[in-house]
Amino acid sequence: MNPRSTQPREHAQGAQQNAAPADDLTEEQVNRIFRALADATRRDIVRRTLTREATISQLAGDYDMSFAAVQKHVTALVAAELIIKEARGRERVIRGNPQRIARVRELLGEFEQIWRGRMDRMDALFAEERP
Protein backbone atom coordinates (compact mmCIF):
# COMPACT_ATOMS: atom_id res chain seq x y z
CA MET A 1 0.00 0.00 0.00
CA ASN A 2 1.05 3.54 -0.62
CA PRO A 3 1.25 5.14 2.87
CA ARG A 4 -0.40 8.35 1.64
CA SER A 5 -3.19 6.70 -0.27
CA THR A 6 -5.88 4.10 0.22
CA GLN A 7 -4.94 2.61 -3.14
CA PRO A 8 -2.33 -0.10 -3.66
CA ARG A 9 1.02 1.26 -4.83
CA GLU A 10 0.77 -0.28 -8.30
CA HIS A 11 -2.63 1.39 -8.85
CA ALA A 12 -1.35 4.77 -7.72
CA GLN A 13 1.61 4.48 -10.09
CA GLY A 14 -0.53 3.16 -12.94
CA ALA A 15 -2.97 6.03 -12.53
CA GLN A 16 -0.18 8.45 -13.39
CA GLN A 17 0.73 6.55 -16.55
CA ASN A 18 -2.83 5.83 -17.73
CA ALA A 19 -4.77 9.04 -17.19
CA ALA A 20 -8.34 7.84 -16.68
CA PRO A 21 -11.46 9.96 -17.14
CA ALA A 22 -11.95 9.79 -13.35
CA ASP A 23 -8.99 12.14 -12.96
CA ASP A 24 -11.43 15.06 -12.92
CA LEU A 25 -12.63 13.91 -9.48
CA THR A 26 -10.41 13.83 -6.43
CA GLU A 27 -10.46 10.83 -4.13
CA GLU A 28 -12.25 12.97 -1.53
CA GLN A 29 -14.97 13.94 -4.05
CA VAL A 30 -15.51 10.29 -4.99
CA ASN A 31 -15.71 9.39 -1.28
CA ARG A 32 -18.28 12.16 -0.67
CA ILE A 33 -20.39 10.93 -3.57
CA PHE A 34 -20.48 7.31 -2.44
CA ARG A 35 -20.98 8.21 1.23
CA ALA A 36 -23.92 10.39 0.21
CA LEU A 37 -25.43 7.66 -1.98
CA ALA A 38 -24.99 5.01 0.73
CA ASP A 39 -28.06 6.35 2.54
CA ALA A 40 -31.55 5.41 1.29
CA THR A 41 -33.08 8.77 2.26
CA ARG A 42 -30.40 10.64 0.35
CA ARG A 43 -30.87 8.46 -2.72
CA ASP A 44 -34.59 9.17 -2.53
CA ILE A 45 -33.99 12.92 -2.27
CA VAL A 46 -31.75 12.79 -5.35
CA ARG A 47 -34.32 10.74 -7.27
CA ARG A 48 -37.15 13.10 -6.35
CA THR A 49 -35.25 16.30 -7.07
CA LEU A 50 -34.18 15.07 -10.49
CA THR A 51 -37.83 15.02 -11.55
CA ARG A 52 -38.98 18.21 -9.79
CA GLU A 53 -37.62 21.00 -7.63
CA ALA A 54 -38.55 21.05 -3.95
CA THR A 55 -37.91 23.21 -0.92
CA ILE A 56 -36.33 21.71 2.15
CA SER A 57 -39.66 22.20 3.94
CA GLN A 58 -41.47 20.22 1.23
CA LEU A 59 -38.92 17.44 1.47
CA ALA A 60 -39.07 17.40 5.27
CA GLY A 61 -42.85 17.00 5.14
CA ASP A 62 -42.47 13.73 3.22
CA TYR A 63 -40.13 12.01 5.68
CA ASP A 64 -40.67 10.76 9.19
CA MET A 65 -37.81 12.86 10.56
CA SER A 66 -37.17 16.40 11.71
CA PHE A 67 -36.52 19.35 9.43
CA ALA A 68 -32.97 19.48 10.82
CA ALA A 69 -32.37 15.84 9.91
CA VAL A 70 -33.55 16.40 6.32
CA GLN A 71 -31.38 19.51 6.15
CA LYS A 72 -28.34 17.42 7.16
CA HIS A 73 -29.10 14.98 4.35
CA VAL A 74 -29.41 17.89 1.92
CA THR A 75 -26.09 19.32 3.13
CA ALA A 76 -24.33 16.00 2.44
CA LEU A 77 -25.87 15.84 -1.04
CA VAL A 78 -24.87 19.44 -1.81
CA ALA A 79 -21.30 18.69 -0.66
CA ALA A 80 -21.23 15.74 -3.07
CA GLU A 81 -22.68 18.03 -5.78
CA LEU A 82 -25.49 15.53 -6.39
CA ILE A 83 -28.06 18.27 -5.82
CA ILE A 84 -27.98 22.04 -6.13
CA LYS A 85 -29.47 24.33 -3.50
CA GLU A 86 -30.31 27.91 -4.36
CA ALA A 87 -31.96 30.73 -2.48
CA ARG A 88 -35.25 32.05 -3.85
CA GLY A 89 -36.43 34.74 -1.52
CA ARG A 90 -36.75 33.20 1.92
CA GLU A 91 -36.85 29.63 0.62
CA ARG A 92 -34.08 27.26 -0.37
CA VAL A 93 -34.96 25.32 -3.50
CA ILE A 94 -33.33 21.97 -4.17
CA ARG A 95 -32.91 20.38 -7.58
CA GLY A 96 -30.98 17.37 -8.77
CA ASN A 97 -27.71 17.81 -10.62
CA PRO A 98 -28.01 15.60 -13.74
CA GLN A 99 -24.44 16.38 -14.86
CA ARG A 100 -23.03 14.98 -11.60
CA ILE A 101 -25.31 11.94 -11.79
CA ALA A 102 -24.06 11.31 -15.34
CA ARG A 103 -20.47 11.56 -14.06
CA VAL A 104 -21.24 9.06 -11.29
CA ARG A 105 -22.65 6.69 -13.91
CA GLU A 106 -19.41 7.06 -15.91
CA LEU A 107 -17.37 6.43 -12.79
CA LEU A 108 -19.32 3.24 -12.06
CA GLY A 109 -18.71 2.18 -15.65
CA GLU A 110 -14.98 2.69 -15.13
CA PHE A 111 -15.09 0.52 -12.00
CA GLU A 112 -17.03 -2.12 -13.93
CA GLN A 113 -14.36 -2.15 -16.68
CA ILE A 114 -11.62 -2.60 -14.08
CA TRP A 115 -13.42 -5.55 -12.50
CA ARG A 116 -14.31 -7.12 -15.85
CA GLY A 117 -10.63 -6.89 -16.84
CA ARG A 118 -9.62 -8.57 -13.59
CA MET A 119 -12.19 -11.33 -14.11
CA ASP A 120 -10.97 -11.86 -17.68
CA ARG A 121 -7.37 -12.17 -16.43
CA MET A 122 -8.48 -14.65 -13.74
CA ASP A 123 -10.37 -16.69 -16.36
CA ALA A 124 -7.23 -16.75 -18.52
CA LEU A 125 -5.11 -17.91 -15.58
CA PHE A 126 -7.56 -20.69 -14.74
CA ALA A 127 -7.65 -21.76 -18.40
CA GLU A 128 -3.82 -22.00 -18.42
CA GLU A 129 -3.84 -24.27 -15.34
CA ARG A 130 -6.24 -26.82 -16.87
CA PRO A 131 -4.54 -29.93 -18.32
SS3 (DSSP) at 87: strand
- Asked whether residue 123 is domain-assigned, the answer is yes
pLDDT of residue 130: 67
pLDDT of residue 123: 81
How far, in whole angstroms, is CA 127 from its chain's centroid?
36
Separation of alpha carbons 75 and 73, rounded Å: 5
Give the range of the structural domain holding residue 89, as residue numbers without chain letter. 25-129
What one-character-per-residue DSSP string does 9-54 give? Answer: HHHHHHHHHS--GGGGS-HHHHHHHHHHHTSHHHHHHHHHHHHS-E
pTM of the model: 0.70
CATH number, domain of 37, equals 1.10.10.10
pLDDT of residue 120: 79
Number of domains making up the chain: 1
Q: pLDDT by residue for the chain (131 residues), tens digit each?
A: 444 444 443 444 333 333 344 568 888 898 899 999 999 999 999 999 999 999 999 999 999 999 999 999 999 999 999 999 999 999 999 999 999 999 998 888 888 888 888 887 888 888 887 66
- Asked whether residue 97 is domain-assigned, the answer is yes
- Asked whether residue 15 is domain-assigned, the answer is no
pLDDT of residue 115: 86
- Asked whether residue 69 is domain-assigned, the answer is yes
Checking DSSP bridges between strand 54-55 and strand 91-96, what pairing results, if any?
A: antiparallel
